[in-house]
Each structure stands twice: as C-alpha cells, then as structure tokens.
Amino acid sequence: MVDRANRPSALHAPSAAAPGPQVDISGSGASSRVTARLPSGESVEILLHGATVISWKSDGGEKENLWLSEKAVLDGSKAVRGGVPIVFPVFGPPPANHATSSLPQHGFARTSRWEFLGKSTSEDTVESSAVKLDFGLYSSNLSAEARKAWPYDFGLVYSVTLSKDSLQTVMNVRNEGTEVFEFQMLFHTYLRVKDITTTTLTGLLGVPYTDKVLNNTTSTQSTPSLSITSEIDRVYTSIPQSTATVLENGTPRFDIVRDNVEDTVVWNPWKEKAAAMADFAPQDGWKNMICVEVGTVGGWQRLEGGDGFEGGQVVKSLL
C-alpha cells in the first residue's frame, strides 16, 4: 500500500467472540462472483469480471443502494451496465496522440477478469463489523489485445469494504516497471433513487465543470443544489469539498466522501439516450438512478517506475 497521509483507514483486528461476516464465491468462468454478508444482514456482491460491484444492500439487507440494468450483461462479454464499474487507465474516449489512444472507451479494467485476493474482517461487535474484499489485476493477466494497446507493467489492488451503513472502494495503482506512465481512474457508481426529478446533489458549489452535453463547454456550479431536469454529463474538477450529498425530496439519501481524488462526474442519460442503449432496462430506469462518479479524470496521474497511487471513496447510506 502507498505510504501517505490520510490514507483510507485500516480495519480493526477481528475478535473471535463476535459472529463474523460470511464470504462466498459462486459461479464459474466469467460469471464468477464474490458475495459478502454481515451478521446484521447487509451485503455486497462483486463480479470477478471487471471487479464490478453489482449489489450493495444496507438496512439489514432490505435496501438496495445500487441501480443495475435488468439487461446488464453479466457473462463477461462486455462492461456491466450499472453497479460500480471501474474506469482505468483512461476516462471516456481516449485522446489522440496519447499512450492510451489505442484503448477502448473507459479503458480495460471494467472488461478484464480480476483475481480475488482474499478477505479481512472486523468483528468487535455486530454493529461495527465490517469485511474488506481485495481484488487484483496485473499487466501479466491482461488480454493480448489490451497488453498491446497499453504495454506498461502495472499492478492494481482494488479493495471493497462493506460496513453496516457504508461501502468503501479504494484503488491502489502501482508502476511495476521502469517506464513512466500516465493514467486516469474513476468509480462509475450508479446510485438507486426513487425519482430523479426530485433528486438533488449538494457539495459542488463554486466548482468548475465541463459539460459534455453542451459540446464540452466549461462553466462553474453557481447554485448550492444541483437539480437534474434533463440529460446530464458533467465533469467537476478540483473539488475542494470532500463530501457530496444526494437528497431525495430534500432528505439526505447518500453521502459520497472522496479520499485523495479531486474529481466527480455526474451523469444521467434521460429518456432519449437511455432508449438508445441496448443494455438499459427498464426503459424508464433513468428515473431511478443517478451516477455520481468519484475519481481522478480532470488531468493525468503520472507514476514513475516503482511509484504508487491510492485513492477512493466512502458511500454512506443515510436512510
């Protein structure tokens, strides 16, 4: 792990006296997945394909917090529509004349098969129990096509920690070679909401953004609360506040806390764009989701040989 200040906190040592979280591995091949469940019922489910979180349930396992398309492809043949796909090493279409220019949109992490590295648990009490699941992806495990398109030696360790009311995702990127490389990284989180027309987002006041719906024009968030009234695809950069809050009808639903990353993408395809996506369902599913995507995408992170980078988020369920 990278030695830096304010890194995501480590779990407490487990106590043998308390009931422990359960971790199961199911499926085979591209559909293999890891499921963890706390003694109090909360759960998380992660495909090895893309290390994609496809379910996160809080409130004793009764409340699903993530939106997953009913037509999401889970057989490893394409990226998953919904949950928390991982964007690496490039966000969006790769720029021309850059080392990532031969890669597909959003890179290869979300379409590669990851290795499950194991779990660690905290079991001091039922209320404070947590489980951390680690996944790895390395240059040696890439497809020949991806390796040719981005021929750097790297190692990724992705940690997903389930607590009673929160989900933490942390990415550790390491340059395992001698050649410098640049990358972008983002957690493409689809949050489930009751009604996008009554959903607002706070924590972005005064932050500059690029509006991809309006031909990449730049502007600044001028209101403390962002309402979603049409298709939105904005990249907010260099955000000074660490926390953004999703509200439903004025009531806080999620806190999204960034750690060592400065950017956030806000996305909802709205009716017309959702209808054009073959793997988006139900057709009006855009009404029940908002993507608040934490990462480092406003520029490029540069890693010298042997160096590392670590950044992440904590999403807290408030209801």
The single-letter code of the amino acid at 52 is: T
> Token pair for residue 77?
């043949």
Burial class (CB in 10 A: 0-12, 13-18, 19+), 222: exposed
- pLDDT bracket for residue 28 (50, 70, 90): confident
- pLDDT bracket for residue 121 (50, 70, 90): confident
pLDDT exceeding 90 applies to what percent of the chain?
89
Please give the average per-residue pLDDT across 117-129, as a whole number: 72
End-to-end C-alpha distance for the chain, whole angstroms: 33
Cα pseudo-dihedral 63, 67, 69, 72, rounded to 10: -100
Q: What gap in Å lies between CA 48 and CA 28, rounded to an integer?
A: 10
What pLDDT, in 10s, does the model give residues 98-107? 999 999 999 9
Q: What gap in Å lies between CA 305 and CA 179, rounded to an integer?
A: 6
| pLDDT for 5 beyond 70 | no
**CATH number given to 22-317:** 2.70.98.10
Q: For residue 232, what are the contacts with CB-CB under 8 A and spacing of at least 6?
A: 213, 266, 267, 268, 270
Instruction: State pTM to two decimals.
Output: 0.92
The β-bridge partners of 87 are: 186
Q: What gap in Å lies between CA 124 and CA 19, rounded to an integer?
A: 9
Q: Return the active site residues.
A: 188, 293
Report pLDDT for 128: 62
| pLDDT for 81 beyond 90 | yes
**Is 301 marked as binding a ligand?**
no
- pLDDT bracket for residue 15 (50, 70, 90): very low
Q: What gap in Å lies between CA 272 and CA 231, rounded to an integer?
A: 9
What distances in angstroms separate CA 293 from CA 11, 53, 82, 91, 163, one per listed residue? 24, 14, 12, 11, 20
| pLDDT for 125 beyond 90 | no
> How is residue 273 annotated by DSSP?
H
As a whole number, the mean pLDDT across the chain is 93
Domain layout of the chain by residue ranges: 22-317
**Is 110 marked as binding a ligand?**
yes
Nearest CA to 250 out of 316, 198, 203 is that of: 198
Report pLDDT for 75: 92
What pLDDT, in 10s, does the model give residues 258-286? 999 999 999 999 999 999 999 999 999 99
**Is 302 marked as binding a ligand?**
no
| pLDDT for 199 beyond 50 | yes
